[in-house]
Amino acid sequence: MHILVTSPIPTHPLNHGNRARLNAFCRALKTRGHVIHFVYGGFEGITRDQELAMRAAWDHVHIIPAIPGRRRQSHPDHHLIDDWYDDRLDPVVEGILARWEVGACIANYVWFARWLTRVPADIPTFIDTHDIFAGRHALLTAAGIEKSWFSTTATEEAKGLNRARTVIAIQQGEAESFRKRIDSEVVTIGHLTNPRDRAIRTPQPSALLRVGLMASDNPVNAHMLTELQAAWQRTPHMDTHCTLVIAGSAGRLLSDDSGAEILGYVEDAETFFSRLDLLIAPNIGGSGLKIKTVEALASGLPVVATSHAMIGLQANHDAHTCPDLDALCAMLAALSRNSTEIHALKTAGQNSIQSYHAAQEQAFDRLFPPVGVQGETQA
């Protein structure tokens, strides 16, 4: 089946959680035999290498060039739902619909989905929400995080969501919120990933525990890293028990005296994982599913996480529910001299991600069955 997918963000490289979500979703469609018509809305601009990577990944790729300065905000306190919409999307999707027998249309982000109103009524339409945008700025401000990106009202968000026949929430809590506000069907499909097993390292008794973190340099992560560095320094003996190893652009946000090992962008995550004893998911703000937590659990390494980082996921160990960053650092210090508990933490994480993975695959198959499977035309 031909499936039309639009997005204001690119699918490559996988250096941000939303790109990882989008890429995994499209790959899941491809592996089930569907033909992808991917329209990139030019919101961020792309390099030549990004364009080539997207064209190699998807069957048909259409790119709308970026125009700087298009991010307007019509109301002093919030965005209207179509403030960031690009009218140039309309003729592109109309051309695809006229030429191909498209069986489903998927818009990524509610504020980039107005084109769904132009889709013939017999073609199923979907919005992959990624997040809740109603009141998002207020949520960030309350958490002490700089306001960023799109934020609107519940009424405006509902207006946008009702443009799709089916709304895809990324975690169950957000699905429940949407159901209270919109008429469209709401389903939950979390992040799609492939859990792996690995033999974890057995550190020498005197060796430092190598603690990994993958993060990009957005405002939410900037706030998290500032708080993590402070908690790390408050925790007794951390520098003699643990070494923090950071992959991704967030590392440049740390001060020079952080003592962390800064790797920058890592092309091969597996190489990064092989150098670690465990991973941390230290989220303390923001909304939506924490993609990096899912990927950390799927890596096969033990994971220490805050309770906020585990929203939408099953916590099977006390180390998955640290109430704050001081508790997370204290947990790391305790684990650094307890290899038995590190192995138990790994097993707990594997149990969590395996059940999560199975549930997401089943939910995806119900919505987008593999080509040739009964019910496939319903997608």
User: What is the pLDDT confidence band of residue 286, given thresholds at 50, 70 and 90?
Assistant: low
Q: Where are the domains of the chain?
A: 2-189, 209-355
pLDDT (0 to 100) of residue 68: 80
State mean pLDDT over 6-11. Answer: 97
User: What is the pLDDT confidence band of residue 149, given thresholds at 50, 70 and 90?
Assistant: confident
User: What is the pLDDT confidence band of residue 347, given thresholds at 50, 70 and 90?
Assistant: very high
Q: Is pLDDT larger for residue 170 or for residue 137? A: 170
Please check whether the two domains, 2-189 and 209-355, share a CATH topology: yes
pLDDT (0 to 100) of residue 219: 86
pLDDT over threshold 50, residue 77: yes
Using one digit for the tens of pLDDT, what is the confidence trace for 88-143?
999 999 999 999 999 999 999 999 999 999 999 999 999 999 999 998 888 888 87
DSSP H or E segment with residue 350: helix 339-367
Residue pair 54/31 in contact (Cβ under 8 Å)? The answer is no
pLDDT (0 to 100) of residue 42: 87
Nearest CA to 17 out of 274, 296, 235, 280 is that of 296
pLDDT over threshold 70, residue 205: no
Q: 210 to each of 257, 331, 377, how far by Cα in Å?
A: 18, 14, 49
pLDDT over threshold 60, residue 252: yes
State mean pLDDT over 301-325. Answer: 96
State mean pLDDT over 340-362. Answer: 96
Mean pLDDT of the chain: 92
State mean pLDDT over 337-346. Answer: 93
pLDDT (0 to 100) of residue 148: 79
pLDDT (0 to 100) of residue 211: 97
pLDDT (0 to 100) of residue 102: 99
pLDDT (0 to 100) of residue 379: 40
Task: Give the HSE-up count for residue 235: Cα atoms under 13 Å, Cβ half-sphere.
Answer: 22
Gap between the Cα atoms of 133 and 152, Å rounded:
6
Return the structure tokens found at 226. Answer: 């500032």
Nearest CA to 326 out of 213, 236, 251, 222 is that of 236
User: What is the pLDDT confidence band of residue 375, given thresholds at 50, 70 and 90?
Assistant: low
State mean pLDDT over 53-71. Answer: 92
pLDDT (0 to 100) of residue 44: 84
Topology (CATH) of 2-189: Rossmann fold (3.40.50)
Using one digit for the tens of pLDDT, what is the confidence trace for 190-203?
999 999 988 877 66
The SS3 of residue 75 is coil
Please state which architecture CATH assigns to domain 209-355: 3-Layer(aba) Sandwich (3.40)
pLDDT over threshold 70, residue 374: no
State mean pLDDT over 214-237. Answer: 92
* Helix axes of 325-335 and 219-234: crossing angle, nearest 10 degrees: 50
